[in-house]
Amino acid sequence: MGHYDTTSLFLLAAILAPLIAGVILLFGGRFHINTLRAIGAFGFGWPLIIGLMLYSLFEPSLVGDYNFEMRMPTGLESIGIYLHLGLNGISMPLFLLAGTVGFAAGLYAMYSNAERLHLYLALLLFMLGGLMGTFASVDIFFFYFFHEFALIPTFIMIGIWGGAGRRSAAIEMTIYLTLGALLSLLGLIALYVQSGVDSFSLLELRQYLLAQPLSETVQNNIFALLLFGFGILVSLFPFHSWAPKGYAVAPSGAAMLHAGVLKKFGLYGLLQISAPLLPAGAAHWFPWIVGLALCNILFIGLVTMAQKDLKMMLGYSSVMHMGYAFLGIATFSIVGVGGALLMMVAHGLSVALLFMLSTCIYHRSQTFDLSKMGGLATKAPVLAAFFVAATMASIGLPGFGNFWGEFTIFAALAEVEKTRWIVAPAAIGIIISAIYGLRAVANIFFGQPKEEFEAQLNGGTIEDLKGFEKLPAGILIAALVIVGIFPRILSDDANRELAEIYPTVDTLPHHEVSAIPSKETHKEVSH
């Protein structure tokens, strides 16, 4: 029998609600549009409501353990697999991110003109249910299973509702993501086998491996599998080409959920599982992580500058900013890893907003070509304001959550002499982001409109954002500003958890400090 309390049932409900709503909508081809939206509102809204409720009930004293823990039998107990759910200071922010982006994507999708809307909403709900399960899983088998479950609807949605070139993009995504999934699965199985714990529970693995660490060679090999497996899923250079193409053809809901949330799976795996359990492996692969992360920032940043298609630019931009998160994890310090976590949350919110707004721009201009637009702010000032704010957030302007992610990662790099040299090339990425971001704003909204587009502007057919577009955009902007002004609402609990699970490693010459000033005395440990 499993053990759980009342709040654990709410955690389970956050996973089941979108799945149940999705199953109902699969057979909703003849439902009235208002019925579809009501069912969708339940499925998309319930995870966010539960996430906020659980956040308010989160008990910070359970450091090293999980809040709202639930463990249920699966029939695979003989090999140590249970449906083991719970949230700690690291998974809680990403659980909230999934609920927030899922709700915004669902609101936008419910009022879209997608064909077979019931099927479109059902697939988005299945994707959301998988995402909630991914970040709520303590058992690493179900952590992996829920990710794969959430990934399947992405391929289907691209195949049915994707834009031009969707078949080749879907095939490339399938190849890359299958390879990444297989490598990460091999790494997780190797971790289970080599530990000898006979359990996939992250808690039990952590307790055992902290007391009896694996040999350095074994750690190096397993960490390599997880680094490149998770890295492919996060579009780490040079395994990045699938992401911009996939996002460029994906329908808005799929792009928002995948780029905003699902792509954080690999980073979360490295942050929560790989680095704490395999510290010697993390130290060994440190130069590789730094080198590849800088390639994400600099090389892909330059490629982003060369893009003339708005969605391709956003796709490459998303890949570029993942480099900062990898640098944060590579520091193996609370300041760096905490910065990476804040970066993941803020990037998820801002990139989801940008992909949604890019579709709003397309509906008004009938093109993603930046060279064919101009002057849209005269007809759509609210759309311009949202896009400018989202672009500023992506660049890392103070006042938005992205600033704290980048700032704390730079602080971690500057803290130690060995990594101080990385700050300068990494900072160039901010300049690159400002160049392509502000240029996109200028080309779309300001200046003299191009000849073909001027006719549309003068014809009076272009409208500003409608209510169903303003609401999800407002939710995402509000979340970015809240994290930007009050980062401690996420960082305090994360700092406590990171200080507990990241062991002292003599081979890593870093100092463990708090990512954001917290209420507690900073714990400093020489690595």
Where do the structural domains in the chain lie, given as residue ranges?
Answer: 286-527
Type of residue numbered 521: T
pLDDT of residue 4: 59
pLDDT of residue 174: 83
Task: Tell whether the model's pLDDT for residue 470 goes beyond 60.
Answer: yes
Mean pLDDT, residues 270-292 taken together: 88
460 φ/ψ sector (left φ>0, alpha ψ -120 to 50, else beta) = left
For 110-127, write each residue's pLDDT tens digit.
988 878 888 999 999 999
Nearest to 439 by CA among 310, 325, 326: 310
Whole-angstrom Cα distance, residue 273 to residue 265?
A: 11
Helix (H) or strand (E) holding 283, with range, is helix 279-284
3-state helix, strand, coil in the chain (%, to 5): 75, 5, 25
Task: Tell whether the model's pLDDT for residue 519 goes beyond 80.
Answer: no
Mean pLDDT, residues 12-28 taken together: 92
- pTM confidence score: 0.88
User: Looking up tokens 């539960």, which residue turns up?
Assistant: 50
Helix (H) or strand (E) holding 273, with range, is none
CB of 211 closer than 8 Å to CB of 258: no
Mean pLDDT, residues 280-296 taken together: 90
pLDDT of residue 347: 93
Task: Tell whether the model's pLDDT for residue 527 goes beyond 60.
Answer: no
Task: Tell whether the model's pLDDT for residue 522 goes beyond 80.
Answer: no
pLDDT of residue 510: 39
Task: Tell whether the model's pLDDT for residue 255 goes beyond 80.
Answer: yes
Q: How confident is the model at residue 525 (pLDDT cuts 50, 70, 90)?
A: very low
Peptide bond into 238 cis (omega under 30): yes
What sign does the CA torsion over 240, 439, 470, 340 have? positive
pLDDT of residue 500: 83
Q: Which of 31-40, 121-130, 464-473, 496-505 has the highest mean pLDDT?
A: 121-130
Type of residue numbered 89: G
Task: Tell whether the model's pLDDT for residue 239 goes beyond 60.
Answer: yes
pLDDT of residue 456: 66
Higher-confidence residue: 123 or 167?
Answer: 123
For 321-360, write each residue's pLDDT tens digit.
999 999 998 888 888 889 999 999 999 999 999 999 999 9
Beta bridge pairs of residue 382: none
Mean pLDDT, residues 276-293 taken together: 89
Average pLDDT, the chain: 86
Mean pLDDT, residues 398-413 taken together: 90
pLDDT of residue 193: 86
What would you report as the CA-atom Rg of the chain, rounded to the nearest whole angstrom?
Answer: 22
Residues 6+ apart with CB under 8 A from 83: 2, 70, 71, 72, 73, 74, 139, 142
pLDDT of residue 79: 73
pLDDT of residue 520: 41
Mean pLDDT, residues 24-45 taken together: 89
Whole-angstrom Cα distance, residue 158 to residue 28?
A: 21
